[in-house]
Chains A and B, each alone.
Chain A
């Protein structure tokens, strides 16, 4: 196969519609007779509902129906939790609150009206009497809090889990030094720019329900919503139209998705709900939310002997799809890119009166990377060694792969020194250190931070995932020679309509523009798993490669028949099968296969292939990020004056798309490191409930990002790709925080918790406590 497109900076085929505003997100789809839904949500974090009066709302202009928890709780099944852990407590999670509300934003009632203004107006006419209860907010205190959120559980502990291998006690006892640190991973809001939205249509004659939802997992959602509604799965069609970003927040099955379907069935009219940003921050999953205690042992030469991480993980009030599983990903990745003989993670997962946490870009791995990368810097500070040197001393060599960690993983391939050295050279690290020393003499507050990270991608083998870790692909060459690719992945900004077309175009020797990549419609596309966990190319792309191979084999046999030759004698190049001066194009073969007048007797007509790829292992991308920061003494403001990132995501299909993923990920990390934090007050009020308070980074806050790559192919899949969607959010935060702690080391600072806002830094610099 000639690589004409793969590896090239091919412009996206998605873009023409999007730059003209001609894409169709959920709210852009309108159906005749469509009604609009608005939700009444709890204003309290924890309260008993003593009464709900909807009578006035029901009579408001334009209102068609009002539903409360009493109306639906026996009709619609639980909001699903897909994670399975020993002794996991799973609260009964109904689509609308019944007797109690558990977090600010908890949906209580749904109003259906003829337009969105009328629906929203009627919300204010519903009268709810609450008996307010004390709220459980503090993550560390939740386990012993006398207020129990789900009373029948007896306490607020969702589960406890000890993971890791090696004798941690002996490992820490054998260390020359044990460095300890408490560390907070603040709650974050994913903030996809398109909020969630659902449009539901029920056809009573056909008994068919269609849900258009802004989701990353149309097939998984179909299965779960069919179960929730008690309808046959083959009578439910889920369509993920244009989806305006997800970052894990749409890797879920939400109450609103099932409820809208149910309402459409009740009323036999299409119903639409579009989340407001306020609802999005209150009631779409949150990310991170861990408070942990690190103990890391080291020898005087910098060799790490062991790592223990005791962590309180904030589940929120309920489990969403993967909530309890997220901290387990932290546990898997605690070894970072280092040889650590003993690792132990003790998790206490707790319920609090907040929205559920779940998979936000990185999903447990940014926490792990932050733990180990902060720990490596603290070890370096303790030993008065260069942080780069401490890292280098503990790397496995490229020859040690597959590399087994004390967390039970086998890293597929890696060259950590290679990425580190390249980044050091790009940043001119030794000069940076000299410049820093000189600047300090001039009274400047300058720091240099390094992070060498590894992450786990291409999720993943089915045995390690709740719902199947494989992916699917179908390739068809239509009678006219146009190629259709159906992928079970569900891209929402990643650009797989382009990158998968690149793969198919090279394999079949056809023009890129002759390929249509179709996804996100369960009535058209064979079952698939979806797009998350940096898996679409490594798993879905591989399924595509397998399907292309099978299709090419079929086409070869058709071609051989047409050319009256043996299949083995045929050459396939640039879309042409040839032998002995005779040739036939794949387009001609496709037509012949469909006309079926002259095909081998033992072959079915048509030219298509469907394959499912089950990966044998995860992939492990890695890299080095280096940051220089400068703190303004007068304002406490941080300027990132240099940002160098060298990432290795294996082979690359489209470098432009890879860079885009890295850029976006780093900037979300800058958000976490410096600005973003979901703040609940001690009564459980969400005080960062709009984009005026929740500080998503703007263009002027971001430095120029200098990127480069090393390329260590993954042996796990034939493409050699690893995945890149989450690398930026995993690798960048510790580099930024390390640079600022480094800048403030003359002030006696050894650790700071995110976000590192100007106020915090100004107080340190100006000794104002």
Chain B
């Protein structure tokens, strides 16, 4: 029994008939072909699937697509372009905030949303603000610097 939903993703309105159990992350990846949002666990711990829904950082693997009905979703593909990167994307590039790149979209989305809440976070606030996102490659230090860079750049 499919349900009709309407979701705005990166500014584009999508009308879809979806199974009620379809996860938002699968709607994004499998239906809308926005594969920048990754899946790294199924327990809402790793944060690779983080997107921004109506201003909140949300793990798209633990919310159903039908719960996003009527919402506005921003994924990594909607954050910036190569010619006009978001300051957090730029920070990750400048400060080597990524290695394998798999956690990166979720980490960048969480970082961008953190800066929306706290414009000049301390290193400690960044570290705690990223508690929902795991990275196995970088050891986090350069990610902290990347977000600090973005904070100073945004001023």
Contact = CB atoms under 8 A, between A and B. Distances in A.
B89 interface: yes
Given A19-B89, A117-B21, A660 B136 contact: no
Contacts of A195: 40
A11 B42 contact: no
A656 B38 CA distance: 26
Nearest to B134: A696
Contact of B40 (A193, A700, A702, A728): A193
Given A20-B81, A692-B43, A667 B140 contact: yes
Contacts of A22: 36, 77
A84 interface: no
B137 A664 contact: yes
Contacts of B105: 19, 21
B139 interface: yes
Given A15-B92, A19-B89, A663-B141, A24 B35 contact: yes
Nearest to A18: B101
Given A12-B93, A20-B36, A278 B141 contact: no
A27 B35 contact: yes
A496 to B, nearest CB: 11
A27 B101 contact: no
B67 interface: no
B13 interface: no
In terms of DSSP, what is the predominant structure of the interface of chain A? loop
A696 B136 contact: yes
B32 to A, nearest CB: 12
B148 interface: no
B99 A660 contact: yes
A659 B140 CA distance: 12
A14 B131 CA distance: 26
A28 interface: yes
A19 B99 contact: no
A88 to B, nearest CB: 32
Interface in B115-155: 123-124, 126-128, 130-131, 133-144
Contact of A699 (B79, B96, B136, B144): B144
Given A19-B104, A493-B137, 17 more contacts: A12-B93, A20-B36, A20-B76, A20-B81, A24-B35, A27-B35, A116-B26, A277-B42, A492-B100, A664-B139, A668-B136, A690-B43, A691-B134, A698-B127, A698-B131, A699-B127, A702-B141
Contacts of B22: 117
A192 B82 contact: no
A21 B140 contact: no
Contacts of B42: 276-278, 690
Contacts of A660: 96, 99, 137-139, 142
A192 B100 contact: yes
Interface of B: 19, 21-22, 26, 29, 33-43, 45-46, 48, 75-77, 79-82, 85, 89, 92-94, 96, 98-105, 108, 123-124, 126-128, 130-131, 133-144
B82 A16 contact: yes
A130 interface: no
A373 interface: no
A676 to B, nearest CB: 11
Contacts of A690: 41-43, 45
Interface in A487-510: 492-495
A329 B43 CA distance: 35
B127 A702 contact: yes
Contacts of A704: 123, 141
Contact of A700 (B79, B103, B131, B141): B131
Contacts of B81: 20
Given A12-B93, A27-B39, A691-B43, A245 B137 contact: yes
A668 B135 CA distance: 10
B140 A702 contact: yes
B139 A663 contact: yes
B98 A18 contact: yes
A194 interface: yes
Contacts of A493: 99-101, 137
A527 interface: no
Given A117-B21, A278-B42, A20 B89 contact: yes
A159 interface: no
B134 A698 contact: yes
Interface residues of A, number: 57
B38 A19 contact: no
A194 B102 contact: yes
30 contacts: A16-B93, A20-B36, A20-B79, A20-B82, A21-B34, A21-B77, A21-B104, A22-B36, A25-B38, A27-B29, A27-B39, A116-B26, A193-B100, A193-B102, A193-B137, A244-B101, A276-B42, A277-B43, A493-B100, A657-B96, A660-B138, A664-B138, A665-B139, A667-B140, A668-B136, A690-B45, A699-B144, A700-B130, A705-B139, A728-B139
A696 B29 CA distance: 26
A192 B46 CA distance: 11
Nearest to A281: B41
Contacts of B82: 16, 20
Contacts of B34: 21
Interface in A84-138: 116-117
Contacts of A691: 41, 43, 45-46, 134
Contacts of B75: 21
A666 interface: yes
Contact of B77 (A20, A242, A665): A20
A82 interface: no
A217 interface: no
B65 to A, nearest CB: 12
B19 to A, nearest CB: 7
Contact of B37 (A19, A21, A30, A278): A21
A243 interface: yes
A698 B99 CA distance: 16
A244 B94 CA distance: 20
Contacts of B144: 699
A704 B134 CA distance: 17
A481 interface: no
Nearest to B76: A21
A494 B99 contact: yes
A117 B93 CA distance: 36
A69 interface: no
A690 B45 CA distance: 9
Contact of A191 (B93, B124, B136): B136
A23 B37 CA distance: 11
A612 interface: no
A399 B121 CA distance: 50
Interface in A574-626: none
A691 B133 CA distance: 12
B90 to A, nearest CB: 8
A350 to B, nearest CB: 29
- For the complex of A and B, the 10 pairs showing the least CB-CB separation, nearest first, are A21-B36, A244-B102, A493-B100, A18-B101, A663-B139, A21-B76, A667-B139, A493-B99, A28-B35, A691-B45
A424 to B, nearest CB: 22
A492 B80 CA distance: 24
Contacts of B123: 704
